[in-house]
Structure 1
Amino acid sequence: MKAVEEHTLPGRNPAYADTTKRSRVRYVVLSMLLAATILNYVDRSALGIVAPGLSKGLALNRMEMGELFAGFGLAYSIALVPGGILTDVLGSRLAYGLSLLGWSFATLTQGFATGYHMLLGSRLAIGAMEAPAFPSNARAVTLWFPARERGFATSVYVMGQYIGTPLFTGLLLWISAAYGWRTVFYVTGGFGILFSFLWYRVYRDPHQHAGVNAAELQYINEGGTVARKPREKFDWRMALKLLSYRQILAICIGKFCNNTLLVFFTTWFMTYLIEARHMSMIKVGIFQALPFIGATVGILLAGFLSDFFIRRGVSISTARKAPLIIGTLLGASIVLVNFVESNEGVIAILTIAFFAQGVGSMSWAAVSEIAPRQYVGLTSSITSLAANIAAVTTPLMIGYITHHTGHFYWALNLMGAICLLGALSYSVLLGKLSRIEL
């Protein structure tokens, strides 16, 4: 009962925890994490949605657009480790609130851009300010959910990567057509600013939240949630030490490879449909949603099955690893679009490939299982840094190849090969998942 006593709010008697109906505040927190992640990806992918019109309006070529897409990834990658440290030091409430406010304001400034350099500055700012988001997500889930629910909780907030685009792309395309591409940035940035204040007003860690009763705290802590510990002085050498562990290195490689597909869909996908496949805006508005729906189903299915098998006695290691291997391997199917002529066939293949990428995104749950208890934010930042190197390499690679060849053939083939490398890392290098004790 010691863990319960340490986390019980004043005036609450843990002796009654077993007979009191549990509160369900953790699901309110999860819904906020989902909403924040949706905003995160809508804001970072808004440039990709308006790219065909924006590039013509500002006279930008494919190499320049690739650099703009990559600018976000570069700043995001550089800021991830500091973002994780900030999350560990400030906690999810303040770190996420500042992050939301910062990236939303930077998103809004894209609407004032008059050329390449102004856009690049905004993209760098968005990337840097979004860095604490996923470490804050991982920290909140680790604190709020027991191990047997952590896979589902992870899949729900990661789902935000995918559902924002099918939900809002049609609306954003209409706004762009009716009011101009600049208005898209004003709207998306403005909503994010409002949500940042809501987050800071509502979110608290479990031991600080007035709505949590002793029964829910006991349930969370008995499930293996990371207990509160005094913060330790940060040592930069710890980041290098964590990378020396085989599990973390394997997840870093796998996440980079799996994330390559996600970056394609959030940057060059619309351009591919319009310019390479010559689809009309009406068809794009309909077809673009299907791969994202597929990815949403993939991450939810992976999270549900992973937790289901754990409850049925399958080891956490096996239940968390299987989606990573299967999803990343199946993601290589994206190369098949090079051999299909019909638009319907292309969208079907892209939907399967993105579904697979969603399944492979369960790596966030694996990170929660292996991260040292006092370095959840830092571990999440390191693995996220590896994943988001793809946010630099993928746009540049596609921009360079398409600029010099005039088509996407070799870019898609290279993405398929990268997925195979990721599956190899998860299946051979990763080994058994277990909590790293420092």
Structure 2
Amino acid sequence: MEKDLASSGDATYGVWSEQNAAATQAGAYRWIALFIVWAAFLLSYVDRVAWSTVAAPVGASLGLSVAMLGAFVTAFYSGYVIANVIGGILTDLLGGRAMMTLALLPLGVFTFYFGDTRSLTMGIVIQLAMGFAAGADYSAGMKIIPAWFVRDRGRAMGIYTTATSLAVVLANAIVPSFSAQHGWSNAFRMLGGITVAWGIVSLLFLKNRPTQDQPPARNSATEMLGLLRNRNLIVLAIAGCGGLWATVGFGAWGNALMTRQYGISPVVAGSIVASFGIGAVIAKPVLGWISDLPGVSRKLISILCLLAFTITLLIFGACSTTAQFYLIAPVLGAFSYGYLPVLMAQISDASGKRLAGAAAGWTNAIWQMGSVVSPLAVGHVYGGTHSFMLALLTLAIGPVIGMAAMFFVSKHISRE
């Protein structure tokens, strides 16, 4: 009897030891998983904003009018919107690793060939293809992160979204200077090659979930359609659309507006927008971490951040000197991206882990509608008025709408 009990105890201890070892291994690996999806998001975003850093000088050489400088950005986000809906559903079906790889490899190839652009039509077609290829990387990341992070999901989202703002820093710090020395075509070829390489890294080293977790049940069409009727997701989609109207619009036009309006060189304008990105890099993980704290309202943080975003846009619009732009840019960057991890955490909370990919895909598709329209809208406003302030006022409309939408989000979204 005692022998049986001892054997039973040994077996129990063995199972416990295996589970504990698996949990420890998962705890260590989750940071590797976060780094892989973060770096993928970083490269994807560098690829999409690289054009904005050289739009003014290169656009002139391609014969593009001022109003059409944002056409390539709009083309990218048009493909991106479509791919987010499809990619979100496929991410839940195929897994985050497969979709991350399927996003990065073709994105790298198309980015490489964008360097051969010689006309407006050719550039629009390639940027459309780039956006369509990149559309699944966001959903893949939003699927991977909730699988590995639970209580500290807001912090993980904050770290994940630093990729977009750091991409702004890197693109503005590297692409204009590299283009001046080696040509803008070679800059895009370099970016394309690096993106393909990271797609291979994702395929080889990314894991969908901890080994001790059971594979999720297959999502039904009814459940996915139910996401479209989720009031919290609908309102969060509208809020994000308003926010990204201004975030992407500024990213697309910030450099060109300062260059055209005040004669600031592309390299100096790039360094100003790089400082804008630094503010965002700092703000995102901080706000994500704060949103994880017990009793803290993610809804309230989102509202306050969008309000501050609106105000700092107007202050930036009143600036006219390089010193003023350098002073305000980091603050603007903090608020122009700071709301994103908090909104993303709320979307994950509202949908649950099993439907995280599909929910991220369709809400981000709505978010990116602002990204599609904003660059062209700002281009037409500035092209018709040549008013720096009116261009910034056009951008400020977005976060005002986003802030109003947030008041309709439930106060009691459960945190899985």
Tell me the TM-score normalized by structure 1: 0.86
Change over 3 Å in CA distance of 1:187–1:249 after alignment to 2: same
Change over 3 Å in CA distance of 1:19–1:34 after alignment to 2: closer
The Cα of 1:207 is off from its aligned counterpart by: 3.8
Counterpart amino acid of 2:17? Y
Q: Count residues with an aligned counterpart.
A: 399
**Contact conserved, 1:366 with 1:433, CA < 8 A, in 2?**
no
The Cα of 1:233 is off from its aligned counterpart by: 4.1
The Cα of 1:369 is off from its aligned counterpart by: 0.7
Distance in 2, Cα, partners of 1:305 & 1:287: 28
Counterpart amino acid of 2:16? A
The 3-state SS of whatever aligns with 1:159 is: helix
Partner in structure 1 of residue 24 of structure 2: 22
Distance in 1, Cα, partners of 2:412 & 2:379: 37
How many percent of aligned residue pairs carry the same amino acid? 23
**Contact conserved, 2:70 with 2:376, CA < 8 A, in 1?**
yes
Distance in 2, Cα, partners of 1:104 & 1:43: 8
Distance in 1, Cα, partners of 2:308 & 2:116: 41
Distance in 2, Cα, partners of 1:341 & 1:192: 37
Equivalent residues in 2 for 1:86-165 (5 A)?
86-146=90-150, 148-165=151-168
**Contact conserved, 1:398 with 1:408, CA < 8 A, in 2?**
no
Partner in structure 1 of residue 219 of structure 2: 232
Distance in 1, Cα, partners of 2:346 & 2:55: 35
Distance in 2, Cα, partners of 1:32 & 1:229: 22
Partner in structure 2 of residue 322 of structure 1: 300
Distance in 2, Cα, partners of 1:113 & 1:197: 26
Partner in structure 2 of residue 291 of structure 1: 276
Distance in 1, Cα, partners of 2:344 & 2:177: 34
Partner in structure 2 of residue 356 of structure 1: 335
- Runs of 4 or more above 6 Å deviation: none
The Cα of 1:283 is off from its aligned counterpart by: 2.5
Equivalent residues in 2 for 1:35-434 (5 A)?
35-146=39-150, 148-208=151-211, 228-234=215-221, 238-239=224-225, 241-307=226-292, 309-310=293-294, 314=295, 318-333=296-311, 334-361=313-340, 362-426=342-406, 428-434=407-413
The Cα of 1:74 is off from its aligned counterpart by: 1.1
Change over 3 Å in CA distance of 1:402–1:57 after alignment to 2: same
The Cα of 1:17 is off from its aligned counterpart by: 6.0
Distance in 1, Cα, partners of 2:404 & 2:191: 38
Distance in 1, Cα, partners of 2:290 & 2:316: 29
Counterpart amino acid of 2:325? V
Per-residue CA deviations over 1:57-101 (Å, capped at 9, x if unaligned) read 111112322222111111111221111011111101111101000
The 3-state SS of whatever aligns with 1:22 is: helix
**Contact conserved, 1:76 with 1:129, CA < 8 A, in 2?**
yes
Distance in 1, Cα, partners of 2:49 & 2:65: 18
The Cα of 1:302 is off from its aligned counterpart by: 0.3
Distance in 2, Cα, partners of 1:368 & 1:142: 7
Distance in 2, Cα, partners of 1:247 & 1:151: 17
Counterpart amino acid of 1:351? P
Change over 3 Å in CA distance of 1:88–1:13 after alignment to 2: farther
The Cα of 1:434 is off from its aligned counterpart by: 2.3
Distance in 2, Cα, partners of 1:13 & 1:401: 69
**Contact conserved, 2:104 with 2:199, CA < 8 A, in 1?**
yes
The Cα of 1:331 is off from its aligned counterpart by: 0.5
Distance in 2, Cα, partners of 1:294 & 1:97: 30
Change over 3 Å in CA distance of 1:379–1:178 after alignment to 2: same
Change over 3 Å in CA distance of 1:393–1:46 after alignment to 2: same
The Cα of 1:435 is off from its aligned counterpart by: 5.0
Change over 3 Å in CA distance of 1:350–1:176 after alignment to 2: same
- RMSD (Å) for aligned C-alpha atoms: 2.2
Distance in 1, Cα, partners of 2:63 & 2:398: 32
Change over 3 Å in CA distance of 1:124–1:13 after alignment to 2: farther
Counterpart amino acid of 2:194? F
Distance in 1, Cα, partners of 2:29 & 2:122: 42
The 3-state SS of whatever aligns with 2:387 is: coil
- Structure 1: gaps spanning 5 or more residues: 1-11, 209-216, 222-226
Partner in structure 1 of residue 3 of structure 2: none
Distance in 1, Cα, partners of 2:353 & 2:180: 49
Per-residue CA deviations over 1:33-53 (Å, capped at 9, x if unaligned) read 111111011000111112112
Counterpart amino acid of 1:429? F
- Structure 2: gaps spanning 5 or more residues: 1-12
The Cα of 1:182 is off from its aligned counterpart by: 0.6
